[in-house]
Structure 1
Amino acid sequence: MRKIKYKKGRKVQPSFFDYTGVHKQIKTELQLFVYDTHDLTECEELNVHEIGANVDLNKVNWLNVHGLNNIEVIKSVGDYLKVDNFMLGDILNTAKRTKLDEYHDVLFFNIKSLLPVENSDNINVEQISFLLKNGILVSFQEKRSDFFTHIRERIRTHSGIVREKKADYLLYLLLDAVMENFYITIENEEDRVEELINISKTSTSPEILVQIEKHRDNFNFLKRSIIPLRDSLYSIKSMKDDNVFNSIELENYSFFDRLHQKCLELLEQIEYDSASLDSASNFYFSTQNHKLNEVMKTLTVVSVFFMPLTFIVGVYGMNFDNMPELHWKYGYFIILGFMLLLLLGMIYYFKKKKWY
Structure 2
Amino acid sequence: MRKIKYKKGRKVQPTLLEYTGTHTHTKTETQLFVYDNLELTECEDFEVDALASNVDWSRINWLNVHGLNSVATIQKIGAFLSVDNFMMADILNTTKRTKLDEYHEVLFFSIKSLLPVEHSDNIAAEQISFLLKKNMLVSFQEKRSDFFTHLRERLRTHSGIVREKGADYLLFLMLDAIMENFYITIENEEDKVEELINQSKLNSNPKILEQIEKHRDNYNFLKRSIIPLRDSLYAIKSIKDDNVFNSIEAQNFTFFERLHQKSLELLEQIDYDMTTLESASNYYFALQSHKMNEVMKTLTVVSVFFMPLTFIVGVYGMNFDNMPELHWEYGYFIILGVMLVLLLGMIYYFKKKKWY
Q: TM-score range by the shorter chain?
A: over 0.9
Tell me if 1:224 matches 2:221. no
Q: How far 1:195 moved relative to its partner?
A: 0.8
Map of 2:188 onto structure 1: 188
Amino acid at match of 2:73: V
User: Shift in Å at residue 134 of structure 1?
Assistant: 2.3
| SS state at 1:241 partner | helix
Q: Is the 8 A contact 1:100 1:232 kept in 2?
A: yes
Distance 1:153 1:81 in 2: 27
The amino acid that maps onto 2:194 is E
The answer to whether the aligner puts 1:294 opposite 2:294 as a matched pair is yes
CA distance in 2, matches of 1:347, 1:12: 83
1:174 paired residue number: 174
Deviation at 1:131, TM superposition (A): 0.5
8 Å contact kept, 2:223–2:267: yes
Deviation at 1:12, TM superposition (A): 5.6
Asked whether the 8 Å contact 2:30–2:46 carries over to 1, the reply is yes
What is the CA distance between 1:324 and its match in structure 2?
2.0
Looking at structure 2, the residues matched to 9 and 164 of structure 1 have their Cα atoms a distance apart, in angstroms, of 47
Q: What is the CA deviation profile of residues 193-234 of structure 1, one whole-angstrom value per residue up to 9, with x for unaligned ones?
A: 111111111111111111111111111111100000000111
Rounded to whole Å, the distance in 1 between the matches of 2:5 and 2:37 is 47
Name the SS for the 1:2 alignment partner: coil
Match in the other structure for 1:124: 124
Is the 8 Å Cα contact of residues 68 and 140 (structure 1) preserved in structure 2? yes
Measured after TM superposition, the shift of residue 326 of structure 1 is: 2.0
CA–CA distance in 2 between the matches of 1:153 and 1:8? Answer: 45
Alignment of 1:244-283 (within 5 A): 244-283=244-283
Alpha-carbon contact 2:2-2:221 (below 8 Å) kept: no
Q: How does 1:204-223 map to 2 (within 5 A)?
A: 204-223=204-223
Q: Does 1:36 align with 2:15?
A: no
Deviations 1:1-31 (A, max 9, x none): 5333322233264212221111111100000
Q: SS of 1:346's equivalent?
A: helix
TM-score, normalized by length of structure 2? 0.97
* Cα deviation code 1:89-119 (max 9, x no counterpart): 1111111000000011110000000001111
1:32 Cα deviation from its structure 2 partner? 0.4
**Letter of the structure 2 residue corresponding to residue 139 of structure 1:** S
Q: Percent identity?
A: 77
Cα separation, partners in 2 of 1:274 and 1:247, compared to 1, 3 Å: same
Could you say what secondary structure the match of 1:266 adopts?
helix
- Answer yes or no: is the 8 Å Cα contact 2:30–2:65 preserved in 1: yes
Q: CA–CA distance in 2 between the matches of 1:125 and 1:269? A: 20
Q: Match for residue 10 of structure 2?
A: 10
Equivalent in the alignment of 2:163? 163
> What secondary structure does 2:202 align onto?
coil
User: CA offset at residue 184 of structure 1?
Assistant: 0.5
Structure 1 residue aligned with 2:321? 321
Contact kept in structure 1, 2:109 and 2:130, CA below 8 Å: yes
Query: Which amino acid in the other structure matches residue 116 of structure 1?
Result: P
- Map 1:94-109 to 2 at 5 A: 94-109=94-109
C-alpha displacement of 1:322:
2.4
Shift of the alpha carbon at 1:128?
A: 0.2
Question: 1:10, 1:326 → 2: CA distance?
Answer: 95
- Secondary structure of the structure 2 residue equivalent to 1:327: coil
CA distance in 2, matches of 1:161, 1:9: 47
Q: Is the 8 A contact 2:35 2:60 kept in 1?
A: yes
Gaps of 5+ in 2: none
One-letter code aligned to 2:4 = I
What is the one-letter code of the residue matched to 1:33? F
Which amino acid is the alignment partner of residue 186 of structure 2? I
Q: In the alignment, residue 224 of structure 2 is paired with which amino acid?
A: R
Aligned residues: 356
- Contact 2:107/2:133 (CA < 8 Å) preserved in 1? yes
Matched-pair contact (CA < 8 Å) for 1:236–1:245 = no
**RMSD after superposition:** 1.2
SS of the residue 1:324 aligns to:
coil
The CA deviation string for residues 222-280 of structure 1, in whole angstroms up to 9 with x for no partner, is: 11000000001111113312212232111111110000000011111111111110111
- Deviations 1:268-326, CA, capped at 9 Å, x for gaps: 11111111101111111111111001101100100100110111122222322321222
1-side partners of 2:307 and 2:9: how far apart? 72
Distance in 1, matches of 2:95 and 2:5, equals 8
- State the alpha-carbon separation in 2 of the partners of residues 94 and 2 from structure 1: 12
* Contact 1:243–1:250 (Cα < 8 Å) also in 2: no
